[in-house]
Amino acid sequence: MGIKTEKEIINQEIAKRLMAVKAQTRGINMKNGATFIVKEEGPEGVKKMEKALKELGFPLKFDKVRSMDFYPAGYLSVFFLLTKKLFGWDDQKIRELCGFAVSASLVVRIYMKFFHSVEKMIKKAPEIWREYFTAGELEFLEHNFKEKYSLVEVRNFDLDKSFCVCMEGFLENITKLTINSKEVHCREIACTFDHYSSHKFLIKWQ
Amino acid sequence: MAISEEKKISLLLDDLSALEGYIYDLFVFAPLPICFVSPLGVILEANPAFEKLANYEPYAGSGESLNKLFKEEDAQSLLKEALEKETIEQKEMKFFPKGGGEKIVLAFTRKRKGEKDESVGFFLGLLDITTLKNTEKELKEAQTALLNILEDTEEERRKAEEEKNKTQAIITNFSDGLLVFDKQSSLTLMNPRAEEFFGIKKEKVIGKSVSEFSQISQLQPLATLLGGKLKKIFRKELEIGEDLILEVSTTEMKRGREHLGTLVVLHDVTREKMVERLKTEFVSISAHQLRTPLSAIKWTLRMLLDGDLGKISAEQRDFLEKTYRSNERMISLVNSLLNVTRIEEGRFVYRPVLTDIKTITESVLAGFKDEIERKKIRLKVEKPKEDLPKILVDVEKISSAVQNLVDNAIKYTLPGGQITISLKRSGKGIEFRIKDSGVGIPKKQQKRVFEKFFRGANVMRLETEGSGLGLFITKNIIEAHGGKIWFESQEGKGTTFCFILPAKRKN
């Protein structure tokens, strides 16, 4: 494998490709990321991120981002790849970032009425996805209380592998809130970047 | 101009962002710990104040269970109640922050409802009252302690009051008059007896100083006796009018080394003085009455012994001489009694002249020459190393004093003993010293030597004669001359009497 160079993580070419993906997402997702950077790296971290985005040709001021407005979804992956480049974060950190977004954002405030019922959450999840992303679909394929697992599928949404890691963290934490268990694990078991037709996430809990 | 749909959405998004910021700031700012709890008892979101109270890392409250922050049964009870009721106000609970410890909180809840009016969770606000509770507990303990102290104090106060009343009763009913002066020599207490003595009400004198007493006619004599600074006095007599004699003593009142004031005790000695005076008068009259017939007997016996009334046989002479000596002793006793009464009545008149003590001593010794020889006593008179100055004394009285001391020395020294007499300068006076090798004075009786009619138990066995008045008179004579007399004695080994007379010069 060898040591990856910075160019291999993110560069203008990669950024351009990601930003060209025909999908948009709510600004809240970017704001959550910025909040997590402040928590981990301090306010200077956000400045570094803004500078790097500008250098890549996609400037963004986080304090100007409107939570409920739509922005190119490519920003998410560019953002994740830049955290690896700028702060040396790994996949686990990105998983944490997306898990953090569950508890520290408008998401909780807006969807808290669904957190008391797994059934309601399963039913509502595709709708929430559509409210937050203009492309792709999310569906609960299976939910087994007895065996304590769920299977979630994300179709037609292919940004970058880093987004798959983010989804793991997000689904893990949202499940924690819904089933009142700290022992929840989510792993992607099928990925379009591994030649599967869709992304499949297996959520297990104790 | 109509606003486009796109513009409207943009404005709404701006408003939404502003509202979000407002909610976020309010949530973060709120000093009251607040969280939102799902119907499952899971904390969905907690503000920084809640995270601080629960000891969570920032943003780490989300996903935590209420069961970990309260006792499980309490958490379940809160959950049930919060979802049933609209609000809960001030439910006191024990709160267990992460990492240990225990706090007391007041829980407030407000239910949130979904679209179909179903409970979707509740806001939980906590008010940390641990400090308040601890303070309350401490206050209660302090209150209890204070009440106990107050109870003890009340008991002590009651005891002190009781003691005060007792003391007051003692002071009020005390047979002696009592005056108490404070540090500044102002009168603070006068008991009824003292009021009676001076015929004055305490209200008129309390708070007045001793020096102010001199302006009150009834208290003038006392003021003179005590002096402005309440000098220390012991048993000084004070005549109040014609029929009241008080014996006044002062005592310093102290607590540790602190001077608190002065107590003046006024003891009524009128009756004792009257009895004493009557006794003295009786003795005086008796002695006077006795002296005349004794003198007549003396001269009659003298005439008989001198043969003025005819020749007498040897046997008759012997009887008459014994009678004469007895009569002389009787006269001497009567004279001593008269001297005592004069001393006590203050009528012992002194006529001082400038004289030489050595001459007086020699003259006295000459009168005892025969007796000294008869008892074979070795008499040693030590001459002074320097010339002694003349002194201003009543020759007759000092002769009498020296005579008493020499007489005692001879009487109580066994035949063959020794008497040493010396005279010397001592400071500004002249010291007379007479030392004998006699029977001495028992240690237990030494304190009474200068009392009237005192005679040592051992000398009464040895020598039946003696009135017990000689040393009383001697002491009075020496002290009347401004002198001082003392003695040292050891029973069985002898006695030394000394006196010093000041060497005053006649002006």
Closest CA to B369 of B400, B357, B377, B318: B377
Split at pLDDT 50, 70, 90, the class of B219 is confident
| Amino acid making up residue B19 | L
Task: Give the tokens for residue B267.
Answer: 């003891």
The answer to whether residue A69 neighbours chain B at the CB level (below 8 Å) is yes
CA angle A104, A108, A113 (to 5 degrees): 165
Domain with CATH 3.30.450.20 in chain B: 21-128, 174-268
Among chain B residues, CA nearest to A36: B59
What's the pLDDT at A191?
A: 95
Segment B149-160 mean pLDDT: 90
What's the pLDDT at B116?
A: 78
Segment B257-286 mean pLDDT: 86
Split at pLDDT 50, 70, 90, the class of A201 is very high
DSSP strand pairing (B103-113 vs A199-205): unpaired
What's the pLDDT at A179?
A: 82
Interface test with B, best of A24, A31, A37, A68 (most B CBs within 10 A): A68
Cross-chain Cβ contact A177/B63 below 8 Å: yes
Interface test with B, best of A26, A110, A180, A184 (most B CBs within 10 A): A180
The answer to whether residue A116 neighbours chain B at the CB level (below 8 Å) is yes
Burial of residue B433 (number of CB atoms within 10 Å: 0-12, 13-18, 19+): middle
pLDDT in tens, A83-140: 999 999 999 999 999 988 887 666 667 777 777 777 888 888 888 888 888 999 999 9
Structural contact between residues B468 and B448, judged by C-beta atoms closer than 8 angstroms: no
More confident residue, B11 or A18: A18
| Amino acid making up residue B13 | L
Closest CA to A149 of A124, A183, A102, A177: A183
For the B174-268 domain, the top CATH level (class) is: alpha beta
Cross-chain Cβ contact A113/B120 below 8 Å: yes
B361: Cβ–Cβ under 8 A, 6 or more apart, which residues?
A: B381, B402, B421, B423, B432
Closest CA to B240 of B250, B232, B248: B248
Beta-bridge partners for B189: B180
Q: Per the CATH hierarchy, to which homologous superfamily does domain B21-128 belong?
A: PAS domain (3.30.450.20)
Distance from CA of B106 to the nearest CA of A (A): 24
pLDDT in tens, B27-66: 888 899 999 898 888 888 899 999 999 999 888 888 888 9
What's the pLDDT at A1?
A: 34
Q: All domains of chain A, ordered by start, with CATH?
A: 9-103 (no CATH), 114-205 (3.30.980)
State whether CATH 3.30.450.20 applies to domain B353-502.
no
What's the pLDDT at B463?
A: 61
Please give the DSSP secondary-structure letter assigned to residue B506: P
Domain with CATH 1.10.287 in chain B: 273-345
What's the pLDDT at A107?
A: 67
DSSP strand pairing (B34-37 vs B43-46): antiparallel
Cα separation, A170 vs A154, whole angstroms: 13
pLDDT in tens, A17-63: 999 999 999 998 899 899 999 999 999 999 999 999 999 999 999 99
The answer to whether residue A123 neighbours chain B at the CB level (below 8 Å) is no
The answer to whether residue B114 neighbours chain A at the CB level (below 8 Å) is yes
Kind and range of the H or E element at B111? strand B103-113
Cross-chain Cβ contact A108/B114 below 8 Å: no
Cross-chain Cβ contact A103/B23 below 8 Å: no
Beta-bridge partners for B251: B263
Task: Give the tokens for residue A151.
Answer: 């299977």
Domain with CATH 3.30.565.10 in chain B: 353-502
pLDDT in tens, B314-364: 999 999 999 998 898 888 888 888 888 888 777 777 788 988 899 999 999
Interface test with A, best of B24, B62, B123 (most A CBs within 10 A): B62
pLDDT in tens, B358-416: 999 999 999 899 999 999 999 999 988 888 888 889 998 999 999 999 999 998 898 99
Closest CA to A181 of A147, A206, A150, A204: A206
What's the pLDDT at B225?
A: 83
Q: In this structure, which topology does domain B273-345 adopt according to CATH?
A: Helix Hairpins (1.10.287)
A69: Cβ–Cβ under 8 A, 6 or more apart, which residues?
A: A26, A27, B10, B13
Cross-chain Cβ contact A180/B45 below 8 Å: no
The answer to whether residue B307 neighbours chain A at the CB level (below 8 Å) is no
